[in-house]
């Protein structure tokens, strides 16, 4: 089969997939997700294309799954929960730590935000950088680097989302929020508490804790 046809088949999004996505959206509504723009984004994105082919049949279950480099694509409920907490609107500048499969990045693109996303695994950075434009998702910039440092040259951000479990809250991320900006970060070692920081003033932050979640660890730089 010629490569062109193979690529088309690989990127296929059928009516069956669309139907399964709508069922997933209903599950998320039952679990308490209310934001219409977030639900619409999840209803629009072909999650099965972000996953290893051996998991295709499970793509629309509300579960996390393995991706390359021993990492995971987050559970849709987790993606929806974190995205709701970000409270972003079209045109907002946002930073994601942990690009991974690019699924969360795609959700933020669907919302019309200007997305910067950092990934420390070179293999994933390469795969996802090539893959997202094929689905017409165009984040402002994907960066291969260490998310603990944030992205000072592009700060301040309206929202920052961390999609790996952080043993502590990296100070640079708080410093890179604009006033009124929101950091959504799962904090903890074995399990994480979803935590929201809102910058209420130049030196003031308001912290709110939500339930327990389970993420792969936010790793410190190898170098
Ligand atoms: N948002 C992703 C979640 C991937 S899992 C998705 O939906 O697919 C978390 C990701 O964080 C992994 O890809 C992991 O390699 C990355 N990560 C871990 N520590 C990091 C760090 N210090 N800086 C940037 N990315 C990191």
pLDDT digits (tens, 9 = 90+) for 117-142: 999 999 999 999 999 999 999 999 99
Sign of the Cα pseudo-torsion (69, 70, 75, 78, in order) = negative
Asked whether residue 170 is assigned to any structural domain, the reply reads: yes
Asked whether residue 203 is assigned to any structural domain, the reply reads: yes
Give the CATH number for residue 198: 3.40.50.150
Cα(223)–Cα(76) distance, integer angstroms? 32
Whose Cα sits closest to atom 23 in ligand 1? 147
6-56 confidence digits (pLDDT tens): 444 567 899 999 999 999 999 999 999 999 999 999 999 999 999 887 777
CB-CB neighbours of 100 under 10 Å: 26
The pLDDT value recorded for residue 3 is 53
Domain total in the chain: 1
Asked whether residue 218 is assigned to any structural domain, the reply reads: no
Query: What is the mean pLDDT of the segment spanning 179-187?
Result: 98
The pLDDT value recorded for residue 214 is 95
Q: Running DSSP on this structure, what letter comes out for residue 34?
A: -
Ligand 1 mean position, distance from CA 78 (Å): 14
Mean pLDDT of the residues in the chain: 93
Q: Running DSSP on this structure, what letter comes out for residue 131?
A: H
The pLDDT value recorded for residue 222 is 55
**Domain carrying residue 32:** 3-213
Cα(111)–Cα(59) distance, integer angstroms? 21
Asked whether residue 73 is assigned to any structural domain, the reply reads: yes
The pLDDT value recorded for residue 60 is 94
Catalytic residues: 74
Q: Which residue has the higher pLDDT, 51 or 162?
A: 162
The pLDDT value recorded for residue 125 is 97
Query: What is the mean pLDDT of the segment spanning 78-83?
Result: 98
Whether 38 lines ligand 1, by a CB cut-off of 6 Å, is: no
Asked whether residue 156 is assigned to any structural domain, the reply reads: yes
DSSP states of 69-109 as a string? GG-EEPPHHHHHHHHHHH---TT-EEEEE--TTSHHHHHHH
Closest CA to 75 of 109, 50, 96: 50
SS3 139: coil
Shortest-distance atom of ligand 1 to CA 147: 23
Asked whether residue 223 is assigned to any structural domain, the reply reads: no
The pLDDT value recorded for residue 1 is 46
Cα separations in angstroms, 32 against 29, 36, 84, 129, 151: 5, 12, 11, 32, 32
């Amino acid at each position: 089969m010629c490569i062109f046809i193979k690529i088309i088949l690989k990127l296929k999004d059928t009516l069956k997939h669309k139907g399964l996505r709508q069922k997933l959206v209903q599950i998320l509504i039952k679990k308490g997700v209310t934001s219409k723009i977030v639900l619409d984004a999840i209803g629009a994105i072909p999650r099965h294309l972000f996953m290893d082919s051996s998991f295709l049949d499970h793509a629309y279950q509300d579960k996390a799954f393995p991706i390359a480099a021993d990492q995971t694509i987050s559970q849709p409920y987790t993606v929806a929960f974190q995205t709701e907490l970000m409270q972003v609107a079209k045109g907002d500048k946002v930073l994601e730590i942990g690009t991974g499969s690019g699924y969360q990045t795609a959700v933020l693109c669907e919302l019309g935000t200007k997305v910067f996303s950092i990934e420390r695994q070179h293999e994933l950075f390469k795969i996802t950088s090539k893959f997202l434009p094929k689905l017409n998702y165009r984040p402002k910039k994907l960066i291969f680097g260490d998310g603990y440092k944030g992205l000072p040259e592009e700060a301040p951000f309206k929202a920052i989302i961390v999609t790996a479990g952080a043993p502590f809250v990296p100070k640079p991320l708080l410093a890179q929020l604009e006033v009124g900006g929101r950091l959504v970060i799962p904090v903890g070692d074995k399990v994480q508490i979803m935590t929201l920081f809102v910058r209420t003033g130049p030196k003031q932050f308001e912290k709110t804790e939500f339930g327990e979640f389970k993420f792969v660890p936010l790793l410190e730089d190898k170098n």
